[in-house]
Amino acid sequence: MLTFRRALVIAAAVLTFFFLLRSHHSPPRLTNASQLPHPEPFKSTLTKAAPADAKTDVAPVKESAPRRSEELQVQLAAKKPRPQISLEDLKAKPLRQQLEYQFPYDVEGKFPAYIWQTWKYTPASGEFGDKFREPEASWSILHPTFVHEVVTDSVAVHLLRHLYASVPEVLDAYNALPLPVMKADFFRYLILLARGGIYTDIDTQALKSATEWVPADVPRSSYGMVIGIEADPDRQDWAQWYSRRIQFCQWTIQSKPGHPVLRDIVANITEETLKRKAEGRLSKDHKNIVEFTGPALWTDLVFKFFNDPDYFDLSTNKANITWEHFTGMTAPKKVGDVIVLPITSFSPGVRQMGAGEDDDPMAFVKHRFEGTWKPEHLRHIGEND
């Protein structure tokens, strides 16, 4: 006879059976951060100057009509584990190591949804020039989910003081720069190193969303920086007009925080500024700004990165990556974790050097050259020269 006590025992047994069955088929729930799985270290099997038919773990960005039989592909070194370092010990390390520790780089991370611009006034100010309102607004219109900030000179000082409080040499260098244009150059590298996103000059107009700059079939986890070509003067007298045979523009840059190129240029400008300050050689002369903080230095350090054995496997490489790999580009190329866009992308409508018009499918950003400082490197070669 089934008594109440026996029925209770049977019911408890059945419930226990179903509980055990459910537990066996359900994954354990994470209850604290210590149970989270550790991410795999960054790995890449891309090789530099690989044959065009080589198989890789990342789809290359190819030109529709390649100028070379090689793909510009590079292997980045694996990330190393980061031990904890005390602030005192960190300050004793070289500047580049301090920056690497403070702003670690993760190529597999997401591009932060920031748009950074600098100017003397914010768009809310009545003194913000009318000529900048349409270009500035275009970035918000095409990037409605992004945080869009126009940072004034006075705000930049406090923002950088917050971001670089643990690296005082950087702040000393920024404050020592004698010209606003130098500080504007430095700011773009500093904000991207610390926070990532897009930096673009106040006189640029967005023609397409940044989500369309790179082909959708290229995984975003495979690249951490997007840059464009500013100049490709294929003529004998190119040096009279531009500082480099191929010149990468720095009026628009997209990057994940901590990228090695940004770390290198921040360290370079910091060290050179403090050296010149100590020697009494900091000048207000515009002449050498292009080499000191501008696109010439930027171009040099991008090429330095492309050929750096600390990041790339150069064992099978026969020659360095140079301007010759980028001249005449009509579509993006991927070099390691950097996407290089053709001149049309950030310089449409210049009507020279092979650049397309504003309605070209590859036109992404229009630079109006409305800034108050127009250095020699921004002069355009006349169509009929």
Name which of 12-26, 88-102, 289-303, 336-350 the model is least confident about.
Answer: 12-26
Q: According to the model, what pLDDT value does residue 65 have?
A: 28
Residue ranges of the alpha helices (H) in 229-356?
260-279, 289-292, 295-306, 343-346
Whether 110 maps to a domain, the answer reads yes
Whether 21 maps to a domain, the answer reads no
Whether 384 maps to a domain, the answer reads no
Whether 19 maps to a domain, the answer reads no
Whether 185 maps to a domain, the answer reads yes
Rounded distance, CA 160 to CA 157, Å?
5
Please provide the DSSP assignment of 265-288 as one string.
Answer: HHHHHHHHHHHHHHHT-----GGG
Whether 240 maps to a domain, the answer reads yes
Q: What's the domain range around 277? A: 43-378
pLDDT 10s digits, 108-157: 999 999 999 999 999 999 899 899 999 999 999 999 999 999 999 999 99
Rounded distance, CA 122 to CA 251, Å?
18
pLDDT of 287 over the 80 cut? no
pLDDT 10s digits, 64-75: 322 322 333 444
Q: According to the model, what pLDDT value does residue 379 have?
A: 36
In this prediction, residues 180-191 reach a mean pLDDT of 96
Q: According to the model, what pLDDT value does residue 10 have?
A: 52
Whether 17 maps to a domain, the answer reads no
What is the total count of domains within the chain? Answer: 1
pLDDT 10s digits, 161-174: 999 999 999 999 99
pTM for the full model? 0.78
Whether 35 maps to a domain, the answer reads no
Tell me, what CATH number does 168's domain have?
Answer: 3.90.550
DSSP state of 256: -
Which tokens hold the place of 76?
């980045």
**% of the chain residues with pLDDT over 70:** 73
